[in-house]
Structure 1
Amino acid sequence: MLFSALPRAIARITIPCIAACGLLPLSFSASAHPHSWIDMTTEIQGNGQAITGFHMIWQFDLMTTAYLFDGEDMTPKHKQDTLNKLAKSILNNMLTTHYFTYFYHEKTPIKYKTGESPVLTTHGGKATFVFDLPLAKPYPLTQDPLKLLIFDPTYYVDMSWKNRSNIKLAPELAKQCQYEIVEPHPTPKQVAYASELPADADPDDTLGQLFTQSLVLTCQPTTQPQ
């Protein structure tokens, strides 16, 4: 569960509570299982020869932000120290869950290093978490499709790119690569299962992937001079 990575017990947020507070969007999410929502922007880093990593920008919803800062010292004198502490805590705790990031060449996972440079900010009642996720080594550009997915396996948290502008390519990659955001297509039976799960049900680690977007990246590598 994503928010086991946060210092506060986000599991206290339930669908009935969010709905009663008027914070539940009138959309598919109203009948499905997420407790919290993250709007993502992903910057794919690299050069004309390889992909080197990702720059992640995750904005939490209002309720999740409130629970994140619950009990924390956010007075002007201590606010920055609190934000720095929480940023490091979130990143460190996500290590065991692979930062909820899955990158594939066909069915082969592409490995990455430990996340770095965490920054947490707040504006307009929403917290934004930023960090870098470098690949273990530069991955050469290939004509084969590469697939990126970022999701909470339990689907307690809805993590999504709102539109194409939330995907950004490094300038050299933009000259050679194009991408497509593929929306999920769960079956009616899967949607019904997700909507009927109680808020306090045991996590189902197979659920998140059914409802997650995927980013498909294709590139045209240049031929290097001999």
Structure 2
Amino acid sequence: MLRIWRTFVIGLALTLGVALAAREAAAHPHVWIDLRTTVVMDDQGRVTAIGQEWLFDPIYSAYVTGGLDPASDKARKALDDLLGESMSNLREYDYFMRVRADGGRLALEDARDTSAAMRGDRMLYRFTVPLSDPVDPRSRDLDIAVFDPTYYIEMLHLEGDVIAFQGANQTGCGARIIEPAPDMNAIALAQSLDRNAAADDTLGAQFAETVIIACK
């Protein structure tokens, strides 16, 4: 579930807004997120949006919720406030999503259908990010990657996960996840960073999975 390279996860907390204090508590601060991805399609068979589920690790979840009873009104408000802050901050970084068609990066719109909840002892975000322009995956090569550019946060799909499709016309569509293969320089850099060091903002891309979308 929470897997490879955990000892290498370091850098700057760019966006979640509440992890900054945790940076002072440990030499190698880190957060882990298990991903689920849904490809949203229209009735013409074009990809119009990418849905995300982010399931945060129990330690980070406990930190940000402060041990509140998940069923309490106070916890509900805290989660809603945190979600709003996170979505606002993440917008600047395309919600940590890189969506490409034929190798060119696509523009994304503001997230919609956002929600936050507790799943057991883990915090769960759900949101959908529309593409500015729909893409036909039958005529263009489409791929998706979700990652924190600084690699402060490790973001990986659940092992053995299957990418979901949603929409009226998804016949013949499928996806596969290509595992990351960071080079030794990237691994060495990640290992060498301490809490006072700033990671290169391209480091995370080398540790990111790539989701390849294909339709016949």
How much has 1:90 moved relative to structure 2? Answer: 1.1
Match of 1:107 in 2: 103
> Kindly tell me: are residues 123 and 141 of structure 1, through their superposed partners in 2, closer, same or farther at Cα, counting changes over 3 Å?
closer
Q: Which residue of 2 aligns with 1:78?
A: 74
* Aligned CA distance change for structure 1 residues 176 and 74 (closer, same or farther; 3 Å): closer
The aligned amino acid for 1:46 is M
Counterpart mapping for 1:18-97 below 5 A: 35-47=30-42, 48-70=44-66, 76-97=72-93
Q: Which has the larger radius of gyration?
A: 1
> What is the aligned partner in structure 2 of residue 123 from structure 1?
119
1:3 deviation in Å?
4.3
TM-score normalised over the length of structure 1: 0.80
Query: Matched residue of 2:85: which SS?
Result: helix
Quick check: 132-141 or 2-11, which moved more? 2-11
Query: Once the 2 structures are TM-superposed, how far is the Cα of residue 40 of structure 1 from its aligned partner?
Result: 0.5
Give the aligned partner of residue 28 of structure 1. none
Q: Higher helix proportion, which one?
A: 1
State how many pairs are aligned. 205
In 2, Cα distance between the equivalents of 1:56 and 1:145?
21
User: Contact 2:23 / 2:29 at 8 angstroms: preserved in 1?
Assistant: no
What is the letter of the counterpart of residue 56 of structure 1?
Answer: Q
Query: Which of 199, 217, 225 is the matching residue for 2:213?
Result: 217
Aligned counterparts, 1:125-204, within 5 A = 125-170=121-166, 172=168, 174-204=170-200
Identity percentage over the alignment? 26
The structural deviation recorded for 1:68 is 1.8
Deviation by residue 1:25-69 (Cα, 9 ceiling, x = unmatched):
xxxxxxxx7711000001110034211101110000012112222
Change in CA separation of 1:89 and 1:166 when aligned onto 2, cut-off 3 Å: farther
- Cα RMSD after superposing both structures: 2.6
Match of 1:8 among 18, 36, 45: 18
- Report the Cα offset of residue 173 of structure 1: 5.1
Could you list the runs of 5+ residues in structure 2 that have no partner in the other structure? 1-10
Whichever residue aligns with residue 211 of structure 1, its letter is: F
Any unmatched runs of 5+ in structure 1? 18-32, 221-226
